Structure formats: structure tokens, C-alpha cells
Chains A and B, each alone.
Chain A
Amino acid sequence: MNCPNCGTSNLDTASICANCGRPLSAAPPPPPPIPPPQSASYTPTPPPRAPMGGGAPMTPGEKIPNYLIQSIIVTLCCCLPLGIVGLIFGSQVNSKLAQGDVAGAREASKKAKQFLLIGVGIWAVLFVIGLLMNGAVFLEALRDSAANR
């Protein structure tokens, strides 16, 4: 039998290795040392994992924003379903990063940004139209609220 530690061939009846002196049948060799974690300077917030899907791996320092906070703000303040779309794509960014699918995460991040910008744009246009349509009402309300407070 071969020594699990140094590989030297020994007699089957031997209990310790003739070469290195380790016990032959008892405990298996100590597990190989765990490689140290990747250096601390390489810190995208979710721990980087080997990419399973295609696409270039994350470059050091690269951040793939998930726009979730912005999505929640757009959902609450612009009150448009586009904020929900932003939430869906933002959640996909997180899930895909957790799975190591960096390319998919980048794509979802881009989509989230696009839909949020569209949402904010539509809201701004509607808001300005509303202001123009009742500009006089708006000024009057402003004056009233200043006088009545």
C-alpha cells in the first residue's frame, strides 16, 4: 500500500510509513490547506464567484448598480408602474450576481436604468403639462396657502 502522506510504497502489514513515519491505515491525511480568500482589496459588494454563464468576469472595482433604491423612490413618488419594472430588473441584478452571471446582471442593470429614466421623464412631462394647464390655479393656490397658513 502507498503512504497517503508521501506516496512511498509500503508493505500491506506495515502500520507506519517506512519513509516518513506517518500512520498508514488510521486517519486520512490532513486536508490540503484551504486557499486563502481573495485579497481584501478586491471588493465588489457581493462576494465574487466564478462566473457560470458567459460574459466577461467582473473587473476589480466594477460596480453593477441594481437601482433598487431609485426604483422604490420612482414607484412611490412618480406613482408609475415603471417603478415596478425597475424593481423587477433590479432584483434580477442581485439574483444574477448571486449566481455569478455577471453579463446577465449588467444587462438587467442597464434595463432597470432605462425604465427608471423613462418613468422619471414621463412623470416630469405630465407634471409640467399639469402646471401649464392650471398655471393660474397653481399660483392662486400658492398665494392662498401663503396667506392662510
Chain B
Amino acid sequence: MVLSSLKPSATALRIGSAAILVVIGAWVLYTYPPVTSGFYPQCVFKTATGLDCPGCGTTRALHALLHGHVFEAFTLNPFLFAILIGFACAAPSLMRGETPRFVMKPWFGWGSLVVVTGWWIGRNLMT
């Protein structure tokens, strides 16, 4: 009884570990510029095909964003901003270990499929 009351709740553990991961990730991304650091994982799709994938530029964009260069981040990968807004909306539910309600809606699945695929094709046509 005493031990179980000392045990941190699942929600606290989730928030704690998420916070630690975010802080470590942000520190690495802030300190080591992705363009000159070799240890970031390279995009498999880009290595294989030479084309951009929907996520290409995210690491560089996050680095720019952490240094306050919002416009540069936007030009590197505008899709990152949609993802960040989405995660901000989903965060309260995710912290409680639930799936956010909008993620369960049919429009969200098909909508993200159309947006991601469109962005994937579109960004390669634009360059």
C-alpha cells in the first residue's frame, strides 16, 4: 500500500519521460547543425531516389526554429508547422494516454493521407 502510493502515476511517468526526450533532442538539435554534423540519420528515400520525402528538411528546420529563424524553418519544410500544430492539439490527450478524439475521425485519416501524399508529390514537382 505504502509502496504503491509512492509509485509515480502513469501520467506523471509519461509526461516526465516525454519532457526528458524533448529536452535532450532539442539540445542536440540546437548544438549540432544538421548540415555539418554527420551523425543524424540520412533519409533512406532521398539516398535511394534523390527525391525529397515528405519529412526531408525537418531536422534542419527544427535546428533553424530552435535558433529563432522561423522563416528559414518554413522554407526548409513548411509541413513541419502543420505537424507541430497537430501535436500541440493532440498533446493533452496523449499525456493522459488517450488517443485524441479528432484522430479517430474518418476525415483526419483520409485528410492526412491526401495532404501527406500531395505534399510529397508537390514538393518534388516544385523543385
Could you tell me which A residues sit within 8 Å of B by CB distance?
A: 45-46, 63, 65-66, 68-69, 72, 75-80, 83-84, 87-88, 90-95, 97-98, 123, 126-127, 130, 137-138, 140-142, 144-145, 148-149
Contacts and interface: CB of A to CB of B under 8 A. Distances in A.
Given A45-B101, A87-B109, A91-B109, 14 more contacts: A66-B109, A72-B83, A75-B55, A76-B55, A79-B54, A79-B55, A84-B113, A87-B116, A94-B106, A94-B109, A130-B47, A141-B37, A142-B39, A145-B37
Q: Give chain B's interface residue range (CB within 8 Å of chain A).
A: 35 or more
Interface in B74-127: 79, 83, 90, 98-99, 101, 103-106, 108-110, 112-113, 116-117
Contacts of A127: 41, 44
B43 interface: yes
Contacts of B56: 79
10 contacts: A72-B112, A76-B54, A84-B116, A87-B113, A91-B106, A91-B113, A123-B44, A138-B38, A142-B39, A145-B36
Contacts of A97: 104
A142 B38 contact: yes
The 6 lowest CB-CB distance pairs between A and B, nearest first, are A141-B38, A91-B109, A76-B55, A79-B53, A145-B37, A79-B45
Nearest to A96: B106
A134 to B, nearest CB: 9
Dominant secondary structure at the B interface = helix
Nearest to A127: B41
B38 A76 contact: no
A119 B58 CA distance: 19
B32 interface: yes
Contacts of B33: 145, 149
B54 A137 contact: no
